[in-house]
Amino acid sequence: MSQEFRQVIRSAQVGLFVNAVLALIKLVAGIVGNTYALVADAVESTADVFASLVVWGGLRVATRDPDEDYPFGYGKAESVAAAVVSMMLVAAAIGIAFEAVREIRTPHKTPAPWTLLVLVAVLFVKFVLFRRTLAIGQATGSTAGKTDAWHHLSDAITSAAAFIGISIALWGGPGWEQADDWAALFAATVICYNGIVLLRSPLHDLMDKMPGEEVITAVRSAAAEVPSVKAVEKLSARKAGLVYYVDIHVQADPSMSLHDAHELSGAVKSAIRRRVPGVAGVLVHMEPFAEQTS
């Protein structure tokens, strides 16, 4: 298992523990403190617990070595985990929205003032967790790790909305009790939007979309700089977990022997992997170079 995978897995484990504790605290505080916004926040934290489990499990599968059945490895499991987490966000948002509408239509007591202190503490913890998880996800290039981070931020957004809603309910007095339910409904909308946006990245990975230009440019220039390479004709790449697989066509002197062409293809592979450490495999197609005539 690479150091990058270990970092993301540890991050998921920390998130799992923190979310489990926060979910319990928010659920009890929401029930005792008469605020559905806090209960909705607890539901979102519970979804975060399952999300961290999914990320953890996906990364464990993604670290398996290639075998006869999966010659390109199990890296796609990381993207599957990220897609599942994104869909869980959408599902949680829909559930919160339905319950928020029901609470708006049902008269209830004014939220307890002390619930605001709970939310302040939650906001601080979730923001710190978001920053830490996002930094690890960006440093390792993990789609699942970055998705997990934004899941933490969506929980913080729910908490912020709950804080605003409860504050309005307390400030407005009788007749404003439903303010925290409207806050929960607003948070559900934001969470649903985030879930849909976050789903795009893992879907791109699963559908083998070309990586960003920074990766492609680095691969192309590394191959072109190898001595005896006359031109780079075609280049494609796809992401599998934290690594990339490259398919490249390079042109060389047509009189080159098969042995020399083989040696040149090896040099191209080595140059690409040195320039872009995230590249796990390179398939080089050797082609004869033809002078362009006008």
Q: pLDDT digit string (tens) for 70-84?
A: 888 888 888 888 888
Structural domains of the chain sorted by starting position, each given as residue range(s) with its CATH number in brackets = 3-206 (1.20.1510.10), 213-288 (3.30.70.1350)
- Phi, psi of 247, rounded to the nearest 5 degrees: -125, 115
> Long-range pairs for 23-32 at CB < 8 Å and ≥24 separation?
23/48, 23/49, 25/118, 25/122, 26/118, 26/122, 29/115, 29/118, 30/115, 32/112
Reported as a single tens digit per residue, the pLDDT across 165-178 is: 888 888 887 777 77
Per-residue confidence at 294, pLDDT binned at 50, 70, 90? very low
Q: Which is nearest to 75 in space by CA: 240, 208, 246?
A: 240
Say how far apart CA 33 and CA 224 lie, in whole Å: 66
Q: Taking the model in full, what pTM does it have?
A: 0.69
Q: Are 165 and 183 in contact (CB under 8 A)?
A: yes
Tell me, what's the pLDDT at 2? 63
108-142 residue pLDDT tens:
677 788 888 988 998 898 888 888 888 888 887 77
Check residue 229 and give its pLDDT. Answer: 93
Mean pLDDT of the region 12-39: 82
pLDDT digits (tens, 9 = 90+) for 29-56: 888 887 776 777 787 777 777 777 887 7
Q: Please state, for a pLDDT cut of 70, what percent of the chain lies above it.
A: 95
- Residues 191-197 have a mean pLDDT of 84
